[in-house]
Chains A and B, each alone.
Chain A
């Protein structure tokens, strides 16, 4: 009777399994995350422009009411541009949804990073 091969050592098996399995490759945005990433892109693109528009619009209105010539509009133009950049910065911070949203995608991403 042929001798059966000894049962494989579990540690040995574990080692071989690890070798056989490829390391998970970081590919940036995975296919599953793509809709979310696209939502993000749509979000950010509008944020910048609309803040500028609101700034200029409000400046124009203030000028109209106060009769301060073009000055409020000029000031608000720059403030609007700054607000737009602030909005974009907040939107993309950690690729999550803003700094202050507890339990937002941003904090979860960080959690995952620490554990994984």
Chain B
């Protein structure tokens, strides 16, 4: 440890596990891919295993599976209404994938794929495109009235419509940056304080205490960011379905 410089960003490094190429496209199976597969497997085991018993009075495991179902079902009901029920599978998948990605990132020596903007932006962009398609499918060209705020004088529309369009285009960016920045900042901070602990020797007890608190905080953030990402997806969906 002493001769090797401590690099808090080393944990985010992408490693090609199975190099592969299609033309000029690098389609290697990386550690990020590996952890995504693990996340999907873990979610599947968690839900399928939990519901295997189908007990009327659920045990602990089944309770957790049912709790996560009800949490998302309630979220959709609150933010979109009953017309959002159709989108439950998508939103539930999104939430569980992000939640497990964030939570598994808290395991030492694991890899947090949600700390990469490529991953979060891909998810946010799918949400953005999907919501736009839903909007056009439900309202046709009338969906464009979403960009015309109500009760604004005609002259101001010249200014307001571009602002509204920009505000709409911001969605995938803010959605992805929020998740990626929170995860990356948190994990970097953990690593920095861990490095202080090693460097300070006996006085390392102070950064160690901070790290303990930070770890708890990071678990909160891991859940919170999965929640925020999903709730915003619901809100965007609601905007597209109900317009204004």
Residues on A facing B (Cβ under 8 Å): 35, 38-39, 42-43, 46-47, 49-51, 53-55, 58, 76, 79-80, 82-84, 86-87, 97-105, 108
Contacts and interface: CB of A to CB of B under 8 A. Distances in A.
B174 A100 contact: no
Contacts of B16: none
Given A84-B170, A101-B235, A101-B239, A42 B178 contact: yes
A79 B228 contact: no
Nearest to A98: B235
A10 to B, nearest CB: 39
A108 B170 CA distance: 27
Which of A80, A98, A100, A101 is packed against the most chain B CB atoms within 10 Å? A101
A35 B224 contact: yes
Contacts of A76: 166
B228 A99 contact: no
Contacts of A42: 178, 182, 224-225, 228
Contacts of B239: 98, 100-101
A50 B174 contact: yes
A86 B170 CA distance: 11
Contact of A39 (B79, B167, B228): B228
Interface in B217-244: 220, 223-225, 227-228, 231-232, 235, 238-239, 242-244
B81 interface: yes
B244 A87 contact: no
Contacts of B14: none
A90 to B, nearest CB: 8
Contacts, number: 89
The DSSP consensus for interface residues of chain B is helix
15 contacts: A35-B223, A43-B228, A43-B232, A50-B170, A51-B174, A53-B173, A54-B166, A54-B173, A76-B166, A80-B166, A82-B163, A82-B166, A86-B167, A99-B244, A102-B81
Contacts of A39: 224, 227-228, 231
A50 B173 contact: yes
B37 interface: no
A105 B81 CA distance: 13
A18 B21 CA distance: 75
B78 interface: yes
A52 to B, nearest CB: 9
B49 interface: no
Nearest to B241: A102
